[in-house]
Chain A
Amino acid sequence: MVKILLVEDNEMNRDMLSRRLKRNGYDVVIAVDGREGVDMAASELPDLILMDMSLPEIDGWEATRRVKNNDATRSIPVIALTAHAMAGDREKAIDAGCEDYDTKPVEISRLLGKIAALLNPGAA
């Protein structure tokens, strides 16, 4: 089963998104802040990471950079979840090494499309 690491500090968002991802057939592991996200990326070695940008401890951009700086986790695609219309967040996310981004509130069908595209690049 495809394993997705969801890094999200807001409990409701975390619960809602993880349940909807599970409903769509993904195995979801949770991290509640940036530091835990980086650690779990290394320990769980998920197939994909959904990374909120505004996180406690270390923020999403820094966490992404750390993931991408680790040889073990470098190849894991990261989708940044950014706040709406906060211009600059997206660019910063791409700069930090994210493969793609999506804006919150999450449009589940659009997000699923992006996840599928990253996991099966040949099929897109």
Chain B
Amino acid sequence: MKPLNIASLSNSIGSSIGKKIVFWFLTINVLSCGLLAWRTYDISRASLEDAVQTSLLVVAKKKAEQLENLTLEKIRSVESLMHNPSVSEAAREFSQAISEGGRESDFYKAVAEKYGPNLSRIADTFNYTDCALISPSGDVLFDQYGTLPFSENLLNGRLKGTELADTVDRARTLLQAEISAFEIYPGMKDPAAFIASPILENGVVVAVIVFQLNNRELYSVINDYTGLGETGEALVAANLNQNEMVIVNPLRHAAAPAFSIRTPLTSGAYPALSKALGGVHGSGLFSDPGNRQVVASWTYVPSFRWGMVVQQRVEEAFALTKAQRNATIWLLLFMAPPIVLLALAVARTITKPIRVAVRVAKQVAAGDLDATFEIKSHDETGQLLAAIRSMTADLRELYGSMEDKIRERTSELQLANEELSVARVAAEEASKTKSAFLANMSHELRTPLNAIIGYSEMLQEDAQDKGDFGPVEDLRKIESAGRHLLGLINDILDLSKIEAGKMEVFIERVDIRALVAEVRSIVRPLAEKSDNKLEVICPKDIGAFWSDETKVKQCLLNLMSNANKFTSKGKVTLTVERNADSFIYFRVADTGLGMNEEQLGRLFQAFTQADASTTKRFGGTGLGLAITKHFCVALGGDIAVESTPGTGSVFTIMIPDQQEPFERKPAGLTSESKNALVLVVDDDLVARELLTRTLENEGYQVITARHGLEALALARQHKPNAITLDVMMPHLDGWGVLKQLKDDPELRNIPVIVVTILNERGLAIPLGAVELLTKPIDRQRLTSLLTEYCGNPTETTVLIIEDDSATRDLLCRSVRGVGYRADAVVNGQEGLDWLSRSPPPNLILLDLMMPKLDGFGFLRELRKHHAYDHLPVVIVTAKELNADDIRDLSELKAEIITKDNDYLRELVTIMQECKRANGSDSLRQVPRQAMENQ
């Protein structure tokens, strides 16, 4: 295995998945190892402590047992002397020697020499330090080393009441060996314990033999520190009296000699000793008088009535525990680096293919489809990489073929564009040439014509002046033919210009009455010729309008002369009126031949008259009506005709007042109206009128635009709920309008229905139209589309904005109960979204406390939009409103209903009253009434 480098590993992991894996791996490992180590340490510490305490107790008990055995052994050894005749004999002779000569007598000395060595030997044999014989009355008969006061009687003298005296007394009385307590006797330096046995002869006590126990023998048992280490020791204490105890043995670590330490039983200085003296055994942890922690075991020693404690300092007793703890810590520290390395390695193994996948995905996303990588494993990550590889390959192939196709298509398009542009240049050239030719030719044609007409007029005048009326009639015919020819040339020139798109419009102020008077004066001779009655109906206050006077005049002259041409002995009426939508209507009615449907269809086509035979009968080029229509359209107006064969015809031309055309108020739109507004865009007047009538019958408000630029201006000004859009229009065609509408964030959401002759759905829908209808329009389809996108125009809609579902349902039910349509959303933001995709509601019921966007925020946003400036809003709230709230709401034109017990009934009552008052009409009055009902 190659050596691991942590830094490079860390770098290569990098990603957050890798970090997560490392983190969790380490956490799990460290936690489990730590827990395991701690638990192991804890268990072994507990068992070690237990073992230490047990072993100390064993030591204590063993010591106690040794002391007991020692005592028993001594007692047995002494009891074996009880019936010893030599001892009894010695006692009798010592007694006799004292009574006959005293202790200083030779006799006594002889007896002592005779028996003394024997007794000493016995003492030595049993390892006693002293040996004495006491008479049954308490006198000291013999003392090996003279430590006892021979002059004293044990039972009467100074030693009376001592443990020694009591022991001797018990031995001679109870006839058995007795052992004294261990204590310091008067006149003795070291503490001592004695064992006494009666000496019997024929069942009579002749003496009591007393041995002093060897202190060293006792201490060797007590102060045997085997297995107690450096700090272990034994303490033995005896009750001094009821309240005090004394430590009997010399201590290992204190300079104090035996019996030097006295302490009250309850002082707590030696709690274990107190327990031991209480006769029980046990183990535990304590502080010694030096305030060091010790572990101690205690037991009672019955023969001496001692309490014994065996103790060891904790730091030594538990040294192994500490060592074990340190070993555990070292083990953990030692294990940590391999675990970290392992974690990093695992993380790298897992994340490496993922990182490869991420890198490749990023490369692919950035458009680099040639990203390569190798797949090393066959697990899930390997499969992921394989999937990415095959996906990338697919994409590469797809892109490759797409790029090829695009290149191909682009080059085709380029070629087509080039061809087109060549063709366009050629066409423009041709058009220019044609226009120049026409202009020149008309000039060249008219100049001689002018002369012909002029000279024939002059000759007529000359002839009349001379009174020679003969040639006048012929001259008039020449003049008339010349004028006719001039008219034809002018018509052809006009039409050429129209078709070449060279028709120019010169907008000026037109005095309508003056115009009509001029037309009348020009037409009057024609009417008289056809024997027609000429009537002009024109309001005196009709005033002026802005348009191209020459063209309007030419249109009127065309219509009037036509009317007179096809009517004889009838009546021709010119009616002029100004419409509310600023159109000036000129209506020319005659009582002439009239036309049938088929004739009407061909009427406005160039070079066509109602009937081919007409030309023969009435003359004319057949260009008049075609030119008239073109002129009307160029002026933003149109021409319409109604006719009944045999009864007469009515031609109507509508010319708009071009004064500030975009600022005029559209027809039928008032600030009070509430129905959905539809903008109808069509350059054809008839189509426009038809759509307008259809939509108005359905209850929509309609505004109309004649071309693309006007459509955009009106859309921006009125923000209609829907737009019907013609495609082929002057100035800016429907596609251009659609594109600009969709590019404008303010207008983007207005649904657009494209209405056109060709089914170009494939173009309309991608450009953002909601639907495409082909002319002639299916009215039902149009109506249902508009209902879908604008709602039913005659329906009253209430928008409820409320976050609490129960209240929301309640409000919806109440609103529907009154017969209105209820739509509900859950917060202000959704309210705004709703408004952006729906026609304005008639009323908004608004909660104030809502998530995301509260009622105040919603209202502020709402009022920013001009279209919603006067939309009535009623606040329905449980919030305690302070003065600032009320002022804010009042500024935002919202009225308030407080959510008390009766508010719902109040709201319903208001809406019902309103409905009765206004039919299903406007809810505009609601807020005021709401206030009055407060």
Contact = CB atoms under 8 A, between A and B. Distances in A.
B458 A87 contact: no
Contacts of A85: 490, 493-494, 497
B494 A87 contact: no
Nearest to B443: A83
Q: Is the interface of B mostly helix, strand, loop or mixed?
A: helix
B450 A104 contact: yes
Interface string B453-494: 111011001000000000000000000000000100010011
Interface string A75-91: 00000000111111011
A8 to B, nearest CB: 11
Interface of A: 10, 12-13, 16-17, 19-20, 23, 54, 83-88, 90-91, 104-106, 108
Given A105-B454, A108-B457, 17 more contacts: A12-B455, A13-B450, A16-B450, A16-B455, A20-B457, A23-B461, A83-B442, A83-B443, A84-B442, A85-B493, A85-B497, A86-B439, A87-B503, A87-B505, A88-B504, A91-B506, A106-B454
Given A16-B454, A16-B458, A108-B457, A84 B447 contact: no
Contact of B443 (A16, A54, A108): A54
B709 interface: no
A17 B454 contact: yes
Contacts of A87: 503-506
A84 B451 contact: no
Most buried by A among B446, B447, B454, B455: B454
B449 interface: yes
A66 B503 CA distance: 30
B506 A12 contact: no
A13 B451 contact: yes
Contact of B486 (A54, A86, A105): A105
A17 B505 CA distance: 30
A84 B486 CA distance: 10
Contacts of A54: 443
Contacts of B448: 12
Most buried by B among A13, A91, A105: A105
Given A10-B447, A13-B447, A85-B494, A90 B458 contact: no
B494 A13 contact: no
Given A19-B458, A20-B458, A54-B443, A106 B504 contact: no
6 contacts: A12-B450, A17-B454, A83-B446, A87-B503, A87-B505, A87-B506
A10 B443 CA distance: 12
A13 B454 contact: yes
Interface in B558-587: none
A77 B451 CA distance: 26
A106 B503 contact: no
A79 to B, nearest CB: 16
Contacts of B494: 85
A86 B453 CA distance: 20
Contacts of B455: 12, 16
A98 to B, nearest CB: 15
A51 B205 CA distance: 191
Most buried by B among A12, A88, A108: A12
Contacts of A104: 446, 450
A123 B505 CA distance: 33
Interface in B630-646: none
Contacts of A17: 454
A83 to B, nearest CB: 6
A43 to B, nearest CB: 28
Interface string B494-529: 100100000111100000000000000000000000
Interface in B773-826: none
Nearest to A10: B447
A19 B505 CA distance: 36
Nearest to A54: B443
A90 B506 contact: yes
Nearest to B447: A10
B5 to A, nearest CB: 88
Given A85-B493, A85-B494, A105 B446 contact: yes
A12 B453 CA distance: 11
A16 B451 contact: yes
A84 B446 contact: yes
Contacts of B461: 20, 23
Contacts of B449: 105
A85 to B, nearest CB: 6
A19 B453 CA distance: 14
A39 B490 CA distance: 34
B506 A106 contact: no
A12 B451 contact: yes
Interface string B427-459: 000000000000100110011111101110110
Q: Which 7 residue pairs across A and B have the least CB separation, nearest first?
A: A12-B451, A87-B504, A105-B450, A16-B454, A105-B453, A84-B490, A10-B447
A58 B506 CA distance: 26
A17 B447 CA distance: 13
A12 B505 CA distance: 32
A43 B506 CA distance: 36
Contacts of B443: 54, 83
Contacts of B458: 16, 19-20, 23
Contacts of A13: 447, 450-451, 454
Contacts of B497: 85
Contacts of B439: 86
A20 B494 CA distance: 30
A16 B457 CA distance: 10
B244 to A, nearest CB: 143
Contacts of A88: 504
B492 to A, nearest CB: 11
Contacts of A91: 506
B629 to A, nearest CB: 17
B93 to A, nearest CB: 184
Contacts of B493: 84-85
A2 B493 CA distance: 37
A91 B494 CA distance: 18
A105 B450 CA distance: 5
Contacts of A86: 439
A54 B457 CA distance: 24
B635 to A, nearest CB: 13
A13 B449 CA distance: 10
A88 B497 CA distance: 13
A87 B548 CA distance: 11
A5 B541 CA distance: 42
A106 B447 CA distance: 11
A55 B498 CA distance: 27
A106 B446 contact: no
Most buried by B among A20, A87, A90: A87
A90 B439 CA distance: 15
A10 B449 CA distance: 12
Most buried by A among B447, B448, B455: B447
Contacts of A106: 450, 454
A88 to B, nearest CB: 6
A90 B504 CA distance: 12
A17 B461 CA distance: 13
Nearest to A87: B504
Contacts of A105: 446, 449-450, 453-454, 486
B259 to A, nearest CB: 148
Nearest to A17: B454
Interface string B211-238: 0000000000000000000000000000
Nearest to A86: B439
Contacts of B450: 12-13, 16, 104-106
A84 B453 CA distance: 15
Contacts of A90: 506
Contact of A20 (B454, B490, B503): B454
Contacts of A23: 458, 461
Nearest to A11: B451
A57 B451 CA distance: 23
A57 B453 CA distance: 28
Contacts of B490: 84-85
